């Protein structure tokens, strides 16, 4: 295992948390009800908190003097390593919930396995994050059921959201040289090993929500190696504006 692989892996996890956290923060002041406005922004804060821990560590592993802020605000689209799933735009509330649920079910499984990582720093971060991911998954899962088994309109919107998102889920279980090296060293689980539990959890919630069953997934991938869709650029343009326009600004 090399430090390079660990650096790449930490970016993949950290960027995925950061981008999803930013997407949720876009709901601030726009959610369908006050409680959800509070919930989505609370979850956004947790995700940004996890991203800070992961990106700070990534900067230390890289050893080039970049801290969490430099990694978050001064990298361009092609240097971002997040999953394509989390950069998908919010659309309606149901779409946001479907995206969140598919991610939460994966992230909870991942952090549970990372708690026994041979890398103690990463194990510590995972042990902290796992408690919050349980809250997130319960929240997103309950909403999938409520909306799927809700009105004709909410059910149609949820079904449409899952239809749009399935294609981005295969990437969460792919492994290249980075994950393979870390799995061999006992630092991270083989991503494919997360799949059975994820599928079981997703299928159970879809069934309770009376939504169509999960189709065979033909995957689109590339986010983990910097190949993104058009949406991420717009997200970063907004998120990074201040540090780009006023380098080093603090308050």
CA distance 88 to 173: 18
Among 98, 137, 165, 235, binds another protein (CB under 8 A): 137
Q: How far is the CB of 176 from another protein (least distance, A)?
A: 28
CA distance 223 to 210: 31
SS3 state at 120: helix
Q: How far is the CB of 44 from another protein (least distance, A)?
A: 8
Among 91, 134, 164, 195, binds another protein (CB under 8 A): 134
Asked if 22 interacts with another protein (CB under 8 A), we say: no
Contact 27/90 with Cβ under 8 angstroms? yes
Q: Is 107 exposed, middle or buried (0-12, 13-18, 19+ CB in 10 A)?
A: buried
| Segment interacting with another protein (CB under 8 A) among 42-50, 69-77, 95-103, 213-221 | 42-50
What are the phi and psi torsion angles at 115 (to 5°)? -60, -20
Asked if 70 interacts with another protein (CB under 8 A), we say: no
Query: Within 13 Å and on the Cβ side, how many CA atoms surround 116?
Result: 6
Q: Which residues contact 94 (CB under 8 A, 6 or more apart)?
A: 147, 154, 157, 158, 160, 161
Among 2, 3, 32, 38, binds another protein (CB under 8 A): 38
Asked if 43 interacts with another protein (CB under 8 A), we say: yes
Q: Which residues contact 226 (CB under 8 A, 6 or more apart)?
A: 77, 78, 79, 80, 81
Among 1, 10, 11, 53, binds another protein (CB under 8 A): 53
Among 26, 31, 42, 150, binds another protein (CB under 8 A): 42
Asked if 49 interacts with another protein (CB under 8 A), we say: yes
DSSP structural state of residue 213 = P
Complex with another protein: residue 45 or 175, whichever CB lies closer: 45
Among 5, 18, 47, 182, binds another protein (CB under 8 A): 47
Among 30, 138, 227, 244, binds another protein (CB under 8 A): 138
Residue numbers at the binding site for another protein (CB under 8 A): 35, 38-39, 42-50, 53, 115, 120-121, 123-125, 127-129, 131-132, 134-135, 137-139
């Amino acid at each position: 295992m090399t430090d390079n692989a660990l650096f790449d892996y930490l970016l993949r996890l950290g960027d995925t948390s950061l981008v999803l956290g930013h997407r949720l923060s876009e709901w601030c002041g726009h959610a369908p009800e006050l409680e959800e406005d509070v919930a989505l922004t609370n979850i956004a804060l947790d995700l940004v908190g996890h991203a800070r821990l992961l990106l700070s560590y990534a900067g230390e592993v890289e050893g080039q003097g970049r801290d969490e802020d430099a990694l978050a605000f001064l990298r361009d689209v092609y240097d971002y390593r997040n999953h394509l799933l989390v950069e998908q735009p919010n659309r309606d509330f149901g779409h946001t919930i479907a995206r969140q649920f598919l991610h939460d079910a994966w992230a909870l499984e991942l952090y549970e396995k990372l708690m026994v990582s041979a890398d103690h720093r990463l194990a510590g971060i995972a042990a902290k994050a796992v408690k919050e991911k349980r809250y997130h998954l319960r929240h997103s899962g309950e909403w999938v059921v409520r909306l799927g088994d809700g009105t004709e309109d909410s059910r149609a919107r949820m079904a449409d959201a899952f239809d749009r998102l399935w294609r981005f889920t295969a990437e969460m279980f792919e492994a290249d040289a980075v994950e393979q090296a870390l799995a061999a060293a006992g630092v991270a689980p083989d991503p494919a090993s997360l799949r059975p539990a994820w599928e079981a959890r997703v299928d159970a919630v879809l069934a309770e929500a009376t939504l169509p069953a999960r189709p065979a997934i033909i995957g689109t991938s590339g986010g983990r190696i910097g190949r993104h869709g058009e949406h991420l650029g717009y997200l970063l343009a907004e998120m990074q504006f201040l540090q780009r326009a006023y380098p080093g600004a603090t308050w």
